[in-house]
Structure 1
Amino acid sequence: MTYKNPLIAVADMQKSLDFYHRVLGLTVEQDFGTNQVLTGGVSLQTLESWAGFLGCDERDIRFGGKSAELYFEETDFDAFAARLAAMEDISYVHPVIEHRWGQRAVRIYDPDRHIIEIGEPLPAVARRFAGQGMDVEQIARRMDVGADFAAQLLAE
């Protein structure tokens, strides 16, 4: 068995396609009409067709649950966060935070209230700490990882 990709139902395909392109830079790789596969492997399925697959009424499908998210990483996190802040129509789960291990992240909602997280890649976190004068041992302690893993992150 091979895991392929996440699929999320959307109420308005065009609105969702516009959001994922404008905010995350994703584009359509495969267009199957009621299903659109985006770069990175995210699939969007129309609400109507999704309800048909499940054999239920569209009203039985609820958006806005807080049990899952789509996770992305952005190497130039500062530039992304600034660009995101300039977008007036973004609905935040929370603004940019720094997790206890030092990784910065922001969580936002897509048009159907699916949670999207954009995080700073761990190698970028390690390099940021090195730029602040930390050595490998200090980085490992700050990130709560082993020194070998911290050195590996710095080498990436």
Structure 2
Amino acid sequence: MKYSGSMFVVDNRERTIQFYKEILGLRVTVDFGANFTMTGGISFQTRESWIEFINCDSQDIHYRGRDAEIYFETEDLDGFLTLLHSRDDIEYVHPLKTHDWGQRGIRFYDPDYHIIEVSETLTQVCRRFQAQGKSVEEISAITMLSPKVINRMLK
């Protein structure tokens, strides 16, 4: 058995492709029309096609489940935030927040209300703490990463 990815139902194929291209820099890698896969292996399928696949009614498809997210990491969170905040069509789940382990991230909705999280990489977290003058031991205590892993990230 091998996990092969997740698929998300969307109302408008072209709108979804444009959104993920403009906001996250993804591109279509496999295109079957009503079903398509984008960079990183994330797949989408149109509502109409999905309804036929699982033999249900349109009202059985619900968005805004708030029980899952599509997760991304970036080396340049501040640059990404500038791009995100330059748009007026983004609905946020929450503004930028810093988690207990020091990683900063933001969550927002795609056009069909799937939650997307974009956070800085843990390497960036360690570099940020190092730039603030924290020792490897202090960084380890905050991030819960081992000193060995932190030293590897800081090289």
TM-score (norm. length: structure 2) = 0.96
2:83 and 2:113 mapped to 1: Cα distance?
20
List gaps (5 residues or longer) in structure 1: none
1:67 equivalent in structure 2: 67
Secondary structure of the structure 1 residue equivalent to 2:127: helix
2:21 and 2:40 mapped to 1: Cα distance?
12
1:33 equivalent in structure 2: 33
* Alignment length (residue pairs): 155
Secondary structure of the structure 1 residue equivalent to 2:75: coil
Asked if residue 90 in structure 1 is aligned to residue 90 in structure 2, the reply is yes
Asked if residue 138 in structure 1 is aligned to residue 120 in structure 2, the reply is no
Secondary structure of the structure 2 residue equivalent to 1:112: coil
In the TM superposition, what whole-angstrom CA distance separates every residue of 1:38-79 from its partner, at most 9, and x where no partner exists? 011111100011111111011111011011000001111110
Amino acid across the alignment from 1:116: I
Which consecutive segments of 4 or more residues in structure 1 shift more than 3 A? none
Secondary structure of the structure 2 residue equivalent to 1:138: helix
List gaps (5 residues or longer) in structure 2: none
Amino acid across the alignment from 1:91: E
Identity rate of aligned residues, in percent? Answer: 45
Shift of 1:143: 1.2
In the TM superposition, what whole-angstrom CA distance separates every residue of 1:3-34 from its partner, at most 9, and x where no partner exists? 11110000111111111111111111111000
1:49 equivalent in structure 2: 49
1:7 and 1:103 mapped to 2: Cα distance?
27
Secondary structure of the structure 2 residue equivalent to 1:36: strand
Secondary structure of the structure 2 residue equivalent to 1:30: strand
TM-score (norm. length: structure 1) = 0.96
Asked if residue 76 in structure 1 is aligned to residue 76 in structure 2, the reply is yes
Amino acid across the alignment from 1:138: E
Secondary structure of the structure 1 residue equivalent to 2:102: coil
In the TM superposition, what whole-angstrom CA distance separates every residue of 1:119-139 from its partner, at most 9, and x where no partner exists? 100011001111111111111
